[in-house]
Copies of this chain bind each other. A is one copy, B any other.
Amino acid sequence: MRIVEIREATASIGSDIRNAYIDFSKMDVSICAVVTDVIRDGAPVVGYGFNSNGRYAQGGLLRHRFLPRLEAADPARLVTEAGDNLDPFRIWDAMMTNEKPGGHGERSVAVGVVDMAVWDAVAKIAGQPLHRYLAERYGTGTPAADVSVYAAGGYYYPDKDNTALQDEMRGYLGMGYDAVKMKIGGAPLADDIARIEAVLEVVGDGARLAVDANGRFDLDTALAYGEALAPYGLKWYEEAGDPLDYALQAELSKAYAPPMATGENLFSMQDVRNLLRHGGMRPDRDILQMDPVLSYGLVEYMRMLEVLREHGWSPARCVPHGGHQFALSIAAGLGLGGNESYPGIFQPFGGFADSTPVAGGRVALPEIPGIGFEDKAGLMALFRRELG
């Protein structure tokens, strides 16, 4: 058993949205296909991968370092001891040969793209849906039947009043979501509070609304927002300060009692460990949003989950960034607390299987081998067109 070929390409996921930091119109992702010599249903098993939005395609790093290392590796070193499947951990080690510690960005995305495709192939070779494969091997034995998801959106509408924002949120409820997330920090505090109150008119309970500052606040602004937000009892207050400003997060934790969330811009076990050690995050209520693709893939994400356990955190406190089937499979398989979703954007990468619409704020997973891409026609069409 061996990897026959790894193909990669770049695809656009540009959208016309803009958060507090960046314009997504030029956003792209890497896609890849890991082609194996294993035959299932009369055809070679192929695993597919792509990276989550926000950090760009990584074709340069893939072609320059990570794919050549896999091509140069002895194929026997990339499979399990028993030789019955690819080994994602050994493949990870081969990719990271001759890489120095520290500096966790960009390469973490490149490695994550390949890691996703490897896990897709591994589950297909095992003949299992990935969420079931993970639950049996690394989880409690039984995967969750469905996963809580929330609709992330709520960007600013220049030159429009808050009815446009309300219409957007009403749309999410109509799609089957029962919780939503909106941006804050792109307008004065009073205007943001008015936006929040407008959305609460639509969604009702504050526990159904999360707010996201995208890391733009300094400590004083974070505290001022915290004071204004606290009475609403929101679902969470996300990424108030720079993702690496653990001291800001720790100070804010002393002042703001309701749940907070962060972690989507931490791309290694070491960075997450620092958040747990120094960020004052509270394991009884806060949410950790690390993205298993942007941060070196599921192999590294499992290391993060281990560090969480060592610090008294349950995997149920994790709700990954990403909004795609891979994160959903991990959530169902390893007992995470939920998954992000971006209704209608980042297509065809965003969203879940065609056969499993969101209902009651939850989404189920198809019982087909792998991550479930074969039940997402638009994505499979793109993979086949771009990766042959």
Residues of A within 8 A of B (CB): 21-23, 26, 54-61, 63-65, 98-108, 215, 242-247, 265-268, 270-271, 273-274, 277-278, 294
Contacts and interface: CB of A to CB of B under 8 A. Distances in A.
Nearest to A268: B244
B247 A277 contact: yes
A57 B64 contact: yes
B242 A270 contact: yes
B63 A22 contact: no
Contact of A246 (B104, B106, B267, B274): B274
Contact of A267 (B57, B102, B242, B271): B102
Contacts of A106: 61, 103, 105-107
A100 B55 contact: yes
Query: Secondary structure of the A side of the interface?
Result: loop
A101 B215 contact: yes
12 contacts: A21-B99, A21-B100, A21-B101, A26-B98, A56-B65, A102-B215, A103-B294, A105-B106, A244-B273, A245-B270, A247-B277, A274-B278
A358 to B, nearest CB: 27
A246 to B, nearest CB: 6
A265 B59 contact: no
Contact of A278 (B21, B107, B246): B246
Contacts of A278: 246, 274, 277-278
Nearest to A24: B98
A54 B23 contact: no
A29 to B, nearest CB: 12
Residue in A103, A243, A247, A277 whose Cβ sees the most chain B Cβ within 10 Å? A103
Nearest to A59: B60
Nearest to A107: B106
Contact of A271 (B22, B26, B98, B244): B244
Nearest first, the 5 A-B pairs at minimum CB distance are: A60-B60, A103-B105, A102-B265, A106-B106, A102-B243
Contacts of A21: 98-101
A273 B98 CA distance: 27
Contacts of A56: 64-65
Contacts of A58: 60
A96 to B, nearest CB: 10
Given A58-B60, A105-B108, 14 more contacts: A21-B101, A22-B98, A55-B103, A61-B106, A101-B243, A102-B105, A102-B267, A103-B108, A103-B267, A104-B244, A105-B107, A246-B277, A274-B278, A278-B278
